[in-house]
Structure 1
């Protein structure tokens, strides 16, 4: 099974990609913390997902299990649902589901690795069976013992170990068609896909151990049949891979006074958690959290590097805690004030940082057991690891842990590390500018991770050119999944730098990319704020645990389109930034077509009272996307902000004059105003013209009525023309869906012809029984059927679209309703895809 992760499930509606830029220009994107869904609400969501099984060719053994939830945009909730088979989770196979306030599914992003299960799949490579066995041969405790013996015999468990039974897909990397003959150096990330070649029943074993002053955290995949370790990686999410002020002067920190004692706890940021607020504790050279820092005065630290062997509680020892608290506060404020994201999990659960972990420890790390961070004092290579970008980095791991859960291995592990580097840099920019406001400043960060903590002044990583460390790659290659995640993060770090700051066309520059071949060779960045918003939206609402570089590009681009519009300069910048690291093709940046112009003017209309009147404009040139504002008699019409404006004409509208002002998205926007279009409203409708409004479904859903959620641009089907269509059916479950539109046929019409394009595909195998149907009828205003034009079923499946034509002249002089009504039975989907609906009269 070859697969690419899909952005949208086939039969699920999606939020329109073009949004008003003003809504996201600055300020929070995400909603405030919301109550977790009730068991009943989760059960309803699971049932809705299960109803789509037939559309994906899945049987009743396949299911879903809610794994995590967090806030989305205002009024929305994000649910991560694991894919299961016979109740056992399929490793790295999951759906990220966005639901609205009513529990309706808005969109689904998925990583799907389950298609072979139950269809001749393999228990182990080469052992074929059509009914995968989920009964383990060894116990989970035996799997844990195997891991402990290998990774840390004699160590102590820092947190209880766990072993979860899973179905583990065996993955190989294959080239797509057309890339078979490319050399390794010529390969682009989109030239390869992952292929599931079999399945193994296994345990995912999580061990969190300590030995002496060393933390030993591992995730392991252990065969549930043989006990063999199939895969293993370190789960200690550190800022330092291998080791190659104090930093901020006098800073304000929030503390809590109880009686006469101050404690380093900020109760204004975060609730609940271990300490009821954000806190700094003293590990005192252990791997345990210890207790919260306290002091008899509210003056803390001496601003100097910790003196090895000294007290961890005197002024010198307190400095590490000051560093940590200032970083914790600024990271919280960056996420909250800019993005609307509360704490690590979005639900405002308080976290903490333990300072002085271990002895002379050259590292800092995030722990998924306590959802907290540990900061070392530094040893041979570093000073205290509490710099602002390092704190932001570690909290970035916490956000990923609470959302996408990017597996800390291979390409997904590199993206996990990169997210933390990106977060650290953005927190640094925000903090350096005073730590206030609703946007990330354009400058202030140094694009070098951990430069301040290094004793030799050499940073841990250079985001703008990762190879400066002597080990990290600047671009994707087919070998990137086999290197340490602190190195494989490099290309995505560079992508983000280019996205924010742009590149340089001089080949000797550290900011040059050989993969940027379109004009201009020096791509233009979009700034810290927009770049971080796009990245954060992708990581929290679209990424899955197995997202790789190619998938990240697809989903970061989707996030840019959602926030700023398809074809926008932000969307183009994402494509170019990924192209700059050998992920996807480069695109030209300079708009084609020159200045903004109106290429198609709105036309005057003559209609009868009660009929729909529609005015449209086409703009070209300038910088997409465009903003529209329709006017009537020179006065702006509230809500009329699309390329098409429609209204139901009344007698009082006779003689109304309409026009539209179009504005592009250039840094210095340009505008163009259309010519006037006059609406004439008569008592006798004109014989000629188009009677259907939005028959291609390209502009929202109006004036269609009924099950309008079927209208959109969904993965799994394509339009007959344009990008959008109406997808009725495709559920694989009992369903009824309708689309209707009313219009008038002039009594003087000499002809009235209905045409529409229809594509039918089905999972039904019968050649004799019509299980699923689409009925096309004409009705009067009372809903009575005047005539049935056509009935289609799973028996009419065909490749591509078929054009259907009918005369409606029998209904001239009437206002009628065109109805598409679909019914689907309880299993095996049939899709009826409708496009290009037209009624022309003469």
Structure 2
């Protein structure tokens, strides 16, 4: 993320992704195990029966990742594809079925049938040498032979994962995809994607807030059993270890300043609780992984660490204490942003590179902002700025959804070179879309529509009426969980949100028209 003021400070909030277990969600009553098995079986049958739509072919096998069953019985089952035993990056499919079990459609990124051979021309050692020649780090595990299907033509490739650490101390798990024929790097992305007893907390940013803690003997600990057991630990300014549980004798935590180490723990615990409540009460999601399990928050991570990140490997949020210009990274929208990366990794799994990476980052901005609106805390007036509470000068922010280009690097509009931008900057197009969909070209705000020219800065004079953030957030969530796949680009995101709006509000509805108009306003047609 990037702030805007006289001096730019880049903060790349993060997620460390890992394989997600099968999670079944529903907009109606929770399906039984038999219903889930039946929906899975139907999807597996459809994916083969409708090979022309799903691009199923010889040598392919499938595994159910997760599913959504609508209140009206429609089924949306997400499947991961393997080809002759190899994982297919960009091969995932969402199979849509009716209540009666009939095939409706499929959403996928793959463009061509898989017919390639599986004998690599270059060895794993060749791939590793290429990866280490272009990126620093230590090999995490043996390079994996995969099919890379995110481009126009699927190719055999090696997935080389390198562990390292950034200059600011953020851990890195970099996937370097190396062509198995030429040993050239195809692309790379980092899995680090840079966002309870009745107690009282005196927070750094939000004043006095309620906390649900747990009694432990004669004291209390920051553990919330009503939200899956989520808890907060103090890392004691180290970048390793498990941290120390925070305890308090009177269940009143922090003093509102950084002189008390519990203060930022209050913000972290409260922010994670608000994120849990937001996804549960607004979208019916039972925790980040939709399995009722709460996450851990780690505060006081390293020294002068002006960042925060979500890690799937530990299922935890980590917050740094900031530096001379940045407060500790425990603001409400940051917590919502980072934990939303966990939601994305367990649903669409948007790869953190190119346009899909920009959509991944924008998804976290959107939901981080919506968590702020949901909490409606008087000390942090809801807005469409990310991280505006973090800057000691009182004027900075990390990103603006109203006018993304105001940070000097983000794009307001889609243009042909967008995918070459860092994902924190290409996210601006989806952020701008969401603001226009929710609020329109609001009087008194600098948000503008985009012209048809190939520019990333909005300069149009069109006007739009918003549908409200309440409808906009539901459209985005359904698009993410039902229609987007790992390699969804902006054109496909337009289709996904149009389908989501039609599902929620009806084909030809004002909401569907508003989605189309907002995408057109940012040059996604």
Q: TM-score, normalised by structure 1?
A: 0.53
Q: Aligned partners of 2:98, 2:238: CA distance in 1, in Å?
A: 46
- Displacement of 1:59 in angstroms is 4.1
Cα 1:214–1:551 shift into 2, 3 Å: closer
1:632 is matched with none
Query: Which aligned pairs between 1:803-822 and structure 2 lie closer than 5 A?
Result: none
Unaligned segments of structure 2, at least 5 residues: 1-25, 196-202, 453-457
Residue 205 (structure 1) aligns with: 160
Cα distance in structure 2, aligned partners of 1:340 and 1:264: 25
Q: Deviations over 1:396-418 (max 9, x none)?
A: 11110110011111111111111
Q: Label 1:250 to 1:43 Cα distance change in 2 as closer, same or farther (>3 A).
A: same
Distance 1:77 1:322 in 2: 40
Preserved CA contact (<8 Å) 1:202 1:223: yes
Contact 2:53/2:106, CA 8 A, preserved across alignment: no
What is the alpha-carbon root mean square deviation over aligned residues? 3.2
Q: 1:170 to 1:344 in 2, by over 3 A?
A: closer
Q: Which residue of 2 aligns with 1:73?
A: 70
In structure 2, relative to structure 1, the CA distance for the partners of 1:210 and 1:468 (3 Å cut) is closer
Q: How far off is 1:278 after superposition?
A: 1.0
**1:138–1:226 Cα contact (<8 Å) kept:** yes
Aligned equivalent of 2:406, options 468, 472, 497: 468
Partner Cα separation in structure 1 for residue 128 and residue 214 of structure 2: 42
Q: Report the CA distance between 1:302 and its aligned residue.
A: 1.4
Name the SS of the counterpart of 1:473 in structure 2: coil
- 8 Å Cα contact 1:134-1:201 kept in structure 2: yes
Q: 1:569 aligns with which of 499, 510, 516?
A: 510
Corresponding position of 1:113: 111
CA gap 1:161/1:317 in 2 versus in 1, 3 angstroms: farther
Pairing of 1:464-503 with structure 2 (within 5 A)? 464-503=402-441
Inter-partner Cα distance in structure 2 for 1:358 and 1:34: 45
Distance 1:208 1:39 in 2: 37
1:106 to partner: Cα distance: 5.5
Which has a greater percent of strand? 1
2:14 corresponds in structure 1 to: none
What is the rounded CA distance, in whole Å, between the counterparts of 1:30 and 1:475 in structure 2? 37
Match of 1:46 in 2: 44
Secondary structure of the 1:268 match is: helix
Structure with bigger helix share is: 2
- Paired residue for 1:125? none
1:218 aligns with 2:174: yes
2:514 maps to 1:536: no
Q: Shift in Å at residue 64 of structure 1?
A: 3.8
TM-score by length of 2: 0.83
CA drift at 1:448 = 0.5
Cα offset, 1:579, TM superposition: 1.2
**1:402 aligned residue:** 346
Work out which of the two has the higher radius of gyration on C-alpha atoms and give 1 or 2. Answer: 1
User: Using a 3 Å threshold, how does the CA distance of structure 1 residues 343 and 552 change in structure 2: closer, same or farther?
Assistant: same
Superposed, which structure 2 residues align to 1:589-628 within 5 Å? none
1:166-190 superposed Cα distances (whole Å, 9 cap, x missing partner): 112473xxxxxxxxxxxxxxxxxxx
When residues 31 and 303 of structure 1 are mapped into structure 2, their CA distance, relative to the original with a 3 A threshold, is: farther
Aligned to 1:151: 135
* 1:513 pairs with one of 439, 444, 449: 449
Aligned length: 482
Q: CA deviation at 1:223?
A: 3.0
Find the counterpart in structure 1 of residue 192 from structure 2. Answer: 236
> 1:105 and 1:168 mapped to 2: Cα distance?
27
Per the alignment, do residues 261 and 353 of structure 1 end up closer, same or farther by CA in structure 2, a change over 3 Å counting?
A: same
TM-aligned CA distance change 1:390 to 1:415, over 3 Å: same
- Cα gap change, 1:98 to 1:410, in 2 (>3 Å): same
| Alignment check: 8 A CA contact 1:505 1:521 kept | no
Using the TM superposition, give the Cα deviation of residue 286 of structure 1 relative to its aligned residue in structure 2, in angstroms: 2.6
User: 1:43 Cα deviation (Å)?
Assistant: 5.7
Is 1:168 matched up with 2:136? no
Q: Which of 228, 235, 239 matches 1:287?
A: 239
Q: Please give the alpha-carbon distance, in whole angstroms, between the structure 1 residues aligned to 2:430 and 2:244.
A: 38
Secondary structure of 1:65's aligned partner: strand
| CA distance in 2: counterparts of 1:211 and 1:37, whole angstroms | 46
